[in-house]
Amino acid sequence: MALELTAARPYPALLDLPWSTPLEEWPEEILAALPRGISRHVVRFVRVEGRVMAVKEIKADIARREYGMLRMLRRLGQPAVEPVGVVAGRTTMAGEPLDACLLTRHLQFSLPYRAMLSQTLKPDTAQRLIDALAVLLVRLHLSGFWWGDVSLSNTLFKRNAGEFAAYLVDAETGELHDRLSTGQREHDLDIARVNIAGELMDLQAGGLIGEEVEPIEVSEQIMTRYRTLWEELTKTERFETGDRWRVDERIRRLNDLGFDVGELDITTDIGGTEIQIQPKVVDAGHHRRRLLRLTGLDVEDNQARRLLNDLDAYRAATDRQNDDEELVAYDWLTKIYEPVTRTVPASMRAKLEPAEIFHEVLEHRWYLSEKQGHDVAIEDAIVDYVDTVLPTKPDEKAVVGVDTESIPVRARTD
């Protein structure tokens, strides 16, 4: 059978990869790193036309299904890895059939949880990963996506102004419905809890995280975090007709959580004395969209919030409350944000994304100001940051190699 490539965008260099060799035996020189993580399948990272791509070997029908599912999730604006294509019809030189391969683009500056946790960052890193995963799960569930295999392994994390933003990596078991039943959501949560506990226990057994982490306690937090957020986003509120300000307040509360209200169901009772509101459609990315509109910068939501706060501070400091927001934003971008992020020497640009660096510089300025007992200018803060802080950070632009390995249950004939 002829090699069959399904791809949204053609990458001619894809055809040069050794498709007639089982993925496990691909030569090291074409791999971007020796990857691993817990996976049911063989997964490798390769460099194609200057991009890092993940290649997963699975049966053709499953590969095509997952490819379609990832495309659908991207179209729905969900945070998921970008599918590149499916290569099917593979055979060895001897004519033996090989499984198909699903290709996805590696998410720049993202990190697998194992890398995050074993870097021994702040002690509450595990907690913050769970928080990010809870937000992801709520977003997916709101869009009608049932994951079926929620786990830290199936998620990638990006820095998000000190917090993390989670991206779905594996949609193999996923299903898209019009709306999820409570049972489906609960099942996903249960899967998440068991997987997270297992993953943390495994890291502990391997000595990669300390004994002070309580895998079961941490894993249970996915349930509480998820439920709190779900409730806040979807609950119905009732109040007297006179209290209309509560509609605004609800919207503001959702905005604070990083969500926008796309549709709000407002009903009054027959007597007209009581109003009931329930958000029908909520979209994540409130701050992100606002920043994008004002400055053209596309960053994670918390980073956007941080940048917007600085923009507001700049506006107040320059006494331009009456000017057009867009004009002030343009000045802030060219006079503050870009000079700061451009100060980072090229040799250190693979360490963190510009928006995360900006966030860290703001933190650093606060720290310096407190130490010196007076305000430190951001221009001085960035210089000190680049001298003292940034060099100690690892490169995170393309972290794909982690010191673990895949244990495919999919047996060969041994």
Partner 1 sequence: MATVTYDQATRVYPGAETPAVDALDIAIEDGEFLVLVGPSGCGKSTSLRMLAGLEEVNGGRILIGDRDVTDLSPKDRDVAMVFQNYALYPHMSVADNMGFALKIAGTPKAEIRSRVLEAAKILDLEPFLERKPKALSGGQRQRVAMGRAIVRSPQVFLMDEPLSNLDAKLRVQTRTQIASLQRRLGVTTVYVTHDQTEAMTMGDRVAVLKDGILQQCDTPRRMYDHPDNVFVAGFIGSPAMNLLDVPVADGGVKLGSVVHPVERGALSGAGQRVTLGVRPEDLALNTDGQGIPVEVDVVEELGADAYVYGHTTVDDDQLQMIARVDGRTPPEKGSTVYFTPKEGHVHLFDPESGARLGD
Residues that bind partner 1 (CB under 8 A): 38-40, 58-59, 62, 99, 148-149, 151, 153, 173, 178-179, 181-184, 186-187, 190-191, 193-195, 197-199, 201-203, 205-208, 216, 219, 404-405, 407-414
Our CB check for partner 1 shows the closer of 55 and 357 to be 55
CA torsion 113-31-395-118 (nearest 10°) is 30
Our CB check for partner 1 shows the closer of 225 and 286 to be 225
CB of 117 to partner 1, least distance (A): 13
Our CB check for partner 1 shows the closer of 43 and 357 to be 43
Q: What is the 3-state secondary structure (H, E, C) of the chain?
A: CCCEEEECCCCHHHHHCCCCCCHHHCCHHHEEECCCCCCCCCEEEEEECCEEEEEEEECHHHHHHHHHHHHHHHHCCCCECCEEEEEECCECCCCCECCEEEEEECCCCEECHHHHHHCCCCCCHHHHHHHHHHHHHHHHHHCCEECCCCCCCCEEEEEECCEEEEEECCCCCCEECCCCCHHHHHHHHHHHHHHHHHHHHHHHHCCCCCCCCCHHHHHHHHHHHHHHHHHHHHCCEEEECCCCHHHHHHHHHHHHCCEEEEEEEEEECCCCCEEEEEEEEEEECHHHHHHHHHHCCCCCHHHHHHHHHHHHHHHHHCCCCCCCHHHHHHHHHHHHHHHHHHCCCHHHCCCCCHHHHHHHHHHHHHHHHHHHCCCCCHHHHHHHHHHHCHHHCCCCCCCCCCCCCCCCCCCCCC
Our CB check for partner 1 shows the closer of 204 and 341 to be 204
CB of 204 to partner 1, least distance (A): 8
CB of 409 to partner 1, least distance (A): 4
Residues composing the chain: 414
CB of 349 to partner 1, least distance (A): 34
CB of 215 to partner 1, least distance (A): 8
Q: Which of 300, 301, 221 minimizes the C-alpha distance to 254?
A: 301
CB of 169 to partner 1, least distance (A): 13
Our CB check for partner 1 shows the closer of 94 and 270 to be 94
Our CB check for partner 1 shows the closer of 203 and 311 to be 203
Our CB check for partner 1 shows the closer of 70 and 308 to be 70
| Cα→Cα distances 261→20, 240, 280, 390, Å | 50, 21, 8, 38
Our CB check for partner 1 shows the closer of 125 and 151 to be 151
CB of 34 to partner 1, least distance (A): 15
Q: Which of 379, 117, 135, 106 minimizes the C-alpha distance to 259?
A: 135
Our CB check for partner 1 shows the closer of 281 and 377 to be 281
CB of 190 to partner 1, least distance (A): 6
Our CB check for partner 1 shows the closer of 184 and 303 to be 184
CB of 151 to partner 1, least distance (A): 7
CB of 201 to partner 1, least distance (A): 6
